Structure 1
């Protein structure tokens, strides 16, 4: 496990630790303290690092970030461990996410800086004009927590806001305060790039960024989990669909009901085939790509007799791929496939002629004959299939 506390930081643990919301990807949030207003014509003296640390460990503790960073000396103070939320973002009740918690980690960094600050006789219009001392070790520590070197809303270059709720919820990486939904600040205005280490850390001594690993967070779609560590029939369904579409190269065994790195890597290959790139092709499903892969969104393993009967009546005569209660039909189809009665490629949520024929074979296996084995589900045979394959049946 990566270090909870940045090596070399001044630790000021405020307590009040709280977990983050693990269904979202890992994030880092870039802030500046902006404690004074200055201009090119009227610069002001920089506010000392010690003053800001005193504020955030005192009266300002309710707005404290994880890190306070002095870009001139490289000193860093840390107030929360990496796996806890901190408190520098607004999180109003109308926000769909708890913004301070919306990620596997949501590590917030406040650079002690304001535009046109004066430090030791020099005037610094932008954060990137400072030495950015200590940035290399901060960046390496964030990378060790899985935060990718990526700005989903673009690297900040000015003090304008760019906010997108869907991007915020689905993409990991670095966000400016100006990018966070339901917040109104427009900082930091600039931020050092990922190769800058600062003059206090010679390039030969930079902490290496860990090699890229498959994404290891989960999302919840239609009540079911996807991503590393997820378990259930839906994981097997996705894996089998990936194989059937030609995206199974990373499997050494399976696919099965436990989501592994192989599932992530195969799903990333599939996402790239759709034209996604960067963080949008990290191998963790989104609702759009999942629907395109399966033709429907899997749900809880409950099947209604009346729904599948309606599908068996409507789908065969409709256009190819027509879905009537597709998620429930797919559960029945997968059960038929697992019984060896339906080819896996026809597990598509459409109760077409091949599914009717497979269900008729199931009915005959259950002892039905003639018109009682016509491929249209009855309650008794469907209950038997559910009992055999582990799904619930309702009227």
Structure 2
């Protein structure tokens, strides 16, 4: 089962969990917080991530999403687990249950409004920001089976396109402007699924995997698969390793780099490296057994 809480997210569990409607396909809903009304001739200062976290965990809890995403720093706060509904779209009595119509309905609020000004730079659209952390956020949502498609079209402006039949029957990504029973027109833009992202220099604990790190992880996976094929339980396999084996079978090669990156991080890679270094003979024997593994050695999948 994928992680209920996004690895690396700042957890602010609101409680009040409630199930989604499992008969519908999995979805994600893209929002922007749109805190202020700015224009090209009158930009306004960006509202901070911490301000929005404070709002959605106090007076704004009644409209809280699963995730609050800072596209400038990459910080993410999570308020509900993936298998619960959240509350960021209007759900009118008697119609489709907009917050629940999917095996998951994961809602993301990007902390952004058009023509916000941060550090002296004005950003007309969300996609004009660094979109830091988008790769990790996207990888986690993909792990819940949300397909990389926009059934009502990739948002490129602030116009509405709503169809309840499409909403109920097709999984994928939806803009708030696409959700039935709602009148909001955000987010106006959203990063591409495969677009590379630029980000601030990460801290040591958040460094992306190097090619050498990925090779070492691959060797460890080969070793564990060799043990499993011989009917031997993996010695000392921790949760990260068990997860990695499962995802080796389930993830496409194009996404493996991002999945390894967001799940393991530098600390996880160091732990794996220690295990590999402690058993070089076993690793060599596993590699010699003929079991092969292809891994995308670009950690960001770019």
> Per the shorter chain, which TM-score range?
0.5 to 0.7
> For residue 147 of structure 1, what is the aligned residue in structure 2?
146
> For residue 106 of structure 1, what is the aligned residue in structure 2?
105
> For residue 365 of structure 1, what is the aligned residue in structure 2?
none
How much does 1:195 deviate?
1.0
> For residue 390 of structure 1, what is the aligned residue in structure 2?
none
Q: In the alignment, is residue 163 of structure 1 matched against residue 162 of structure 2?
A: yes
Contact 1:24-1:169 at 8 Å conserved across structures: yes
Q: CA RMSD in A?
A: 2.0
Q: In the alignment, is residue 119 of structure 1 matched against residue 118 of structure 2?
A: yes
> For residue 50 of structure 1, what is the aligned residue in structure 2?
50
How much does 1:2 deviate?
0.2
3-state SS of paired residue (2:148):
coil
3-state SS of paired residue (1:146):
coil
1:1-395 matched pairs, under 5 angstroms? 1-95=1-95, 97-200=96-199, 210-211=251-252
CA displacement 1:21-62 (0-9 Å, x = unmatched):
000000000000000000000000000100000000000000
Q: Are the structure 2 counterparts of residues 24 and 48 from structure 1 closer, same or farther at C-alpha, using a change threshold of 3 Å?
A: same
Which protein is bigger by CA-based radius of gyration? 1
Between the aligned partners of 1:166 and 1:22, the Cα distance in structure 2 is: 16
Contact 1:162-1:179 at 8 Å conserved across structures: yes
**Structure 1: unaligned runs, 5 residues or longer:** 213-395
Between the aligned partners of 1:210 and 1:16, the Cα distance in structure 2 is: 32
Between the aligned partners of 1:203 and 1:154, the Cα distance in structure 2 is: 33
Q: Are the structure 2 counterparts of residues 123 and 204 from structure 1 closer, same or farther at C-alpha, using a change threshold of 3 Å?
A: farther
CA displacement 1:239-289 (0-9 Å, x = unmatched):
xxxxxxxxxxxxxxxxxxxxxxxxxxxxxxxxxxxxxxxxxxxxxxxxxxx
Q: Tell me how many residue pairs correspond in the alignment.
A: 211
Between the aligned partners of 2:208 and 2:122, the Cα distance in structure 1 is: 25
Between the aligned partners of 2:208 and 2:125, the Cα distance in structure 1 is: 23
How much does 1:202 deviate?
5.8
How much does 1:197 deviate?
4.4
Between the aligned partners of 1:26 and 1:204, the Cα distance in structure 2 is: 32
Between the aligned partners of 1:122 and 1:63, the Cα distance in structure 2 is: 30
How much does 1:9 deviate?
0.4
Q: Are the structure 2 counterparts of residues 197 and 10 from structure 1 closer, same or farther at C-alpha, using a change threshold of 3 Å?
A: farther
CA displacement 1:6-33 (0-9 Å, x = unmatched):
1000000000000000000000000000
3-state SS of paired residue (2:89):
coil
Between the aligned partners of 2:188 and 2:210, the Cα distance in structure 1 is: 29
Q: Are the structure 2 counterparts of residues 123 and 83 from structure 1 closer, same or farther at C-alpha, using a change threshold of 3 Å?
A: same
Contact 1:134-1:197 at 8 Å conserved across structures: no
> For residue 240 of structure 2, what is the aligned residue in structure 1?
none
> For residue 326 of structure 1, what is the aligned residue in structure 2?
none
> For residue 229 of structure 2, what is the aligned residue in structure 1?
none
**Structure 2: unaligned runs, 5 residues or longer:** 200-206, 215-243, 254-302
3-state SS of paired residue (1:77):
strand
3-state SS of paired residue (1:133):
coil
CA displacement 1:54-90 (0-9 Å, x = unmatched):
0000000000000000000000000000000000010
TM-score (norm 1): 0.52
TM-score (norm 2): 0.67
**Greater relative contact order: 1 or 2 (C-alpha under 8 angstroms, separation 6 or more)?**
2
How much does 1:129 deviate?
0.1
